[in-house]
Each structure stands twice: as C-alpha cells, then as structure tokens.
Amino acid sequence: MATAPTLLLIAHGSRDPRHAATVDALLREVRAQRPGLTVATAYLDHCAPRLSQLVARLDGPAVAVPLLLNRAYHAKHDIPAVLRSAGAAGLPVADVLGPSPLLLDALERRLAEAGTDLAQRAHTGVVLAAAGSSDPAADAATRALAADWQRRRGWGAVAVAYASAGGPRVCDALAELRAQGVTRTAVAPYLLAPGLLPDRIAAAATGADVLAPVLGAAPEVAQLLLARYDRAQRLPAAAAAA
C-alpha cells in the first residue's frame, strides 16, 4: 500500500508562545484521529520552521493545508509566493478551513465549555468575533457564516465584530444584540489560537455574559483539517484551493 502524503500544516505564527503551543496541540489531535499519518507544521512568520525551510526538507509527496479561516491575503498571496520561491509551486494546497458546519460545531463546543446553555440559544445573542481583513471577500464570508449560524442553529441573534481592520468592534456588536432583545449575550472568538487579537477581543468582551475560548485544538477543527487534506489529494492542484 502506498504511503499517504505528508499533511503539511501551514500556520501563521506569532511571537506569543501560546500560538505555537496551540498548533502543537492541534497536531496531536490530528494524529489521534488519523494514526500513522505523517504530519508536520510550518509557519509563515515568527515561528520555526518557516514554510520555505520545511518544504526544502520534505522527503516525498505532501499536501499543504493552511490553518486559516478565510481566503484572504495569506492564502491568496503569501503561501503561493513562498512555495514559488522555494521551487514547490506544484505542491498541492488545500482550501482554507472556512466556511464549514464543523466550524459551527467547534464554536458551539467552546461556548458550552464557557458556560453557555445551548438549550437556551433562542434567547441568546452571540458575537462572532473575527480577526477582520482588508479583503472584502473575506469579511463577507465571515458575515455569511454568522447569518448561516443563526439560521441553522436557532440562536436569538448573531452579530459580527472584528478585532482589527474596520468595525464593528465587540462592544458595538454587544450593543446591537441587546437592542434586539436577547436575554443573554456571548462572545465567540472566530480565531484559531491565542495571541494579540484574541486578547483584544477578551478585553472588549467584559460586558458579555460569556466569553468563549479560541477554537484551538477542538476535535472538529482537526476533523476539518483532515477533510481538506483528503479533498486536496483527490483534486488537481489548481482545483484543490479553488
């Protein structure tokens, strides 16, 4: 039986040590769900090994899976540019993680862990607190995910807020939810690892009844990474990230 390609997880990287620790925990969850699969991590910035370094050391086929929620600048420009400069432009690159029902499952897991009563979701308003992007398509995807989350899962309301780029901010979104008449509010960071932006969201969420942790090493995130990896193997390189 042929050996499966290496799953090359591409993370953003951060000076905050919690970021790499969370990525490591996610890799352990991926390995637990797919025993025997070779999994490696590379970073775009701040952490080692960098993507260009790890690509040069690959021994055999691999599929790159971006640890990114939206197709914004890093997915559209940074990753392809690094792979071209490393002579690996033909490396299959999977699609980003969002949108996906599995991310909604992970968000609800984190809300429940933080104390949200999911049975009372019809009376609860949630702020989906994302990083924010200068790419209008990425922000539109986040807003579409929020609308889908409310429609499919029955939340009283879901509002979007951003930790960077343009507004609205978390405090604005909380005020919007209260104006809609919900009895409880929760903030769900739509971010994968701790760092500056999650800390900024937490500082602004003091008026919420519940603040969930980041998605981190949620089992649903690991399941989604593996699904993106599997799909990229089945498609031509140009189509995998389309």
The structure tokens 């701790």 sit at 194
User: Quick check: 163 and 129 in contact, CB under 8 A?
Assistant: yes
List Cβ neighbours of 59 (8 Å cut-off, separation of 6 or more).
Answer: none
Cα 238 to chain center, whole Å? 22
User: Quick check: 197 and 131 in contact, CB under 8 A?
Assistant: yes
Cα–Cα distance for residue pair 166/173, rounded to 1 Å: 13
If pLDDT is split at 50, 70 and 90, which confidence band does 1 have?
low
Q: How many CA atoms lie within 13 A of 197 on its CB side?
A: 21
Cα 68 to chain center, whole Å? 5
Which helix or strand (DSSP H or E) is residue 19 part of? helix 17-33
Whole-number pLDDT of residue 135: 87
Domains of the chain: 6-97+218-240 (3.40.50.1400), 101-211 (3.40.50.1400)
If pLDDT is split at 50, 70 and 90, which confidence band does 95 have?
very high
Residues 165-210: tens digit of each pLDDT = 677 999 999 999 999 999 999 999 999 999 999 999 999 999 999 9
Cα–Cα distance for residue pair 26/229, rounded to 1 Å: 15
Cα 43 to chain center, whole Å? 15
Nearest residue to 7 via CA among 218, 227, 237, 216: 227
If pLDDT is split at 50, 70 and 90, which confidence band does 53 have?
very high
Q: Enter the DSSP assignment of 95.
A: P
List Cβ neighbours of 11 (8 Å cut-off, separation of 6 or more).
Answer: 19, 20, 23, 41, 42, 43, 44, 47, 67, 193
Which value, in Å, is the radius of gyration of the alpha carbons in the chain?
A: 18
